């Protein structure tokens, strides 16, 4: 495993994504470098109250530790407790306009003893659904991983980003994979680079299409309500969040994924025939978008 090459790619990816997002927002991302007493550190890049993004975070981290948490070795529990080296880029973007979807992307690499593996993916969480947006995002995800791998990675994403206690998906999915270590390092690393390199092409055209769509308090209220599902998933199920907290990572960076404005309502149901109901009926269910 060439850890230096992986780290160099991840830091370069963070820089490229931030530059593109600054170009579309017009604002400047704050940059916080941090270190960790147990080993390693990272760079958190964040913008809040921008022209387009209410909050957007793009994190790079590389941390070492004496005992790999169980949350990072779900596929191979025998590796839990080993010394480890973990690195990756993780981003969550929360635009202010409710017609612009929230998006998440992560690419990561772990090493524990003689074992190494990659993971990652990206997924889209709209508040108001548009067929062409979902189709574009999924088609780009398919191009990133190829026809052979896409069905399995899409299904894995649908199953992973699912709120079991609500019996509903978090959004319209995308791709997700973990424990990628076959057939060899170069092939796996190439796939991870392809996922990272396709992110901007998957998401920016959707932002450009929706950023000027007029909205009011009704749409903002629904966005805040649906963001509550995002919070629930990240705090209850997300293995990246759990790994960060269990490994003693920087809490501010780990919880940067949470939206700045969010609400919960008791037993709320969408109005029949509304755009909000359409999201539930047409978009919050697995479909072959690509």
Task: Quote the pLDDT of residue 75.
Answer: 65
**Tell me, which fold does domain 3-283 have in CATH?**
oxygen-dependent coproporphyrinogen oxidase (3.40.1500)
Distance, first Cα to last Cα, the chain:
33
pLDDT of 73 above 60: no
104 in active site = yes
CB-CB contact of 232 with 108 (8 Å): no
Q: Angle at the Cα of 52 (from 31 to 45), degrees rounded to 5?
A: 15
174's torsion region: left (phi>0), alpha (psi -120 to 50) or beta? left
Give me the mean pLDDT over the 144-152 stretch: 97
Task: Quote the pLDDT of residue 71.
Answer: 64
Classify 258 as helix, strand or coil: coil
Task: Quote the pLDDT of residue 41.
Answer: 87
Please report, rounded to a whole number, the percentage of residues in the chain having pLDDT higher than 70: 96
> Please, which residues bridge with residue 169 across strands?
162
Look at the block and give the residue holding tokens 């593109």.
20
Please report, rounded to a whole number, the percentage of residues in the chain having pLDDT higher than 90: 76
Give me the mean pLDDT over the 263-273 stretch: 94
Higher pLDDT, 208 or 69: 208
Q: Which position among 94, 104, 136, 150 bears the catalytic label?
A: 104
pLDDT of 252 above 90: no
Give me the mean pLDDT over the 257-283 stretch: 94
Higher pLDDT, 267 or 75: 267
Give the predicted TM-score (pTM) of the model: 0.93
CB-CB contact of 104 with 92 (8 Å): yes
pLDDT of 197 above 80: yes
Cα separation, 52 vs 54, in Å, equals 7
Task: Quote the pLDDT of residue 70.
Answer: 66
At residue 71, φ and ψ (nearest 5 deg) are: -65, -20
List of long-range contacts for 70-76, beta carbons under 8 Å, 24+ apart? 70/246, 71/239, 71/242, 71/243, 71/246, 72/110, 72/239, 72/243, 72/247, 73/110, 73/112, 74/178, 74/239, 75/117, 75/178, 75/179, 76/115, 76/117, 76/179
Cα separation, 210 vs 230, in Å, equals 21
pLDDT of 235 above 70: yes
Cα separation, 211 vs 103, in Å, equals 14
Cα separation, 31 vs 14, in Å, equals 11
Task: Quote the pLDDT of residue 68.
Answer: 76
pLDDT of 269 above 60: yes
Higher pLDDT, 1 or 214: 214
């Amino acid at each position: 495993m060439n850890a230096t090459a992986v780290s160099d790619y991840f830091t370069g990816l963070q820089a490229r994504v931030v530059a593109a997002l600054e170009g579309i927002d017009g604002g400047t991302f704050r940059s916080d470098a941090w270190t960790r007493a147990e080993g390693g550190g990272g760079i958190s890049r964040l913008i809040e109250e921008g022209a387009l993004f209410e909050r957007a975070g793009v994190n790079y981290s590389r941390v070492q530790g004496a005992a790999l948490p169980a949350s990072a070795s779900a596929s191979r529990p025998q590796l839990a407790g080993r010394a480890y080296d973990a690195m990756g880029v993780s981003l969550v973007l929360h635009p202010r306009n409710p017609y612009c979807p929230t998006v998440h992307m992560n690419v990561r690499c772990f090493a524990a003893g003689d074992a190494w593996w990659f993971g990652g993916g990206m997924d889209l969480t709209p508040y108001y659904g548009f067929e062409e947006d979902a189709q574009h995002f999924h088609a780009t995800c398919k191009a990133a991983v190829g026809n052979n791998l896409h069905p399995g990675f899409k299904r894995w994403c649908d199953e992973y980003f699912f709120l079991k206690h609500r019996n509903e998906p978090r959004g319209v999915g995308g791709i997700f994979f973990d424990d990628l270590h076959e057939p060899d390092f170069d092939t796996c690393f190439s796939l991870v680079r392809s996922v990272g390199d396709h992110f901007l092409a998957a998401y920016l055209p959707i932002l450009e299409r929706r950023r000027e769509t007029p909205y009011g308090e009704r749409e903002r209220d629904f966005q805040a309500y649906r963001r509550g599902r995002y919070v629930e998933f990240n705090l209850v199920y997300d293995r990246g969040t759990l790994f960060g907290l269990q490994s003693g990572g920087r809490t501010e960076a780990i919880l940067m994924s949470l939206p700045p404005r969010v609400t919960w309502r008791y037993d709320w149901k969408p109005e029949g025939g509304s755009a909000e109901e359409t999201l539930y009926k047409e978009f919050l269910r697995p479909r072959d978008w690509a």
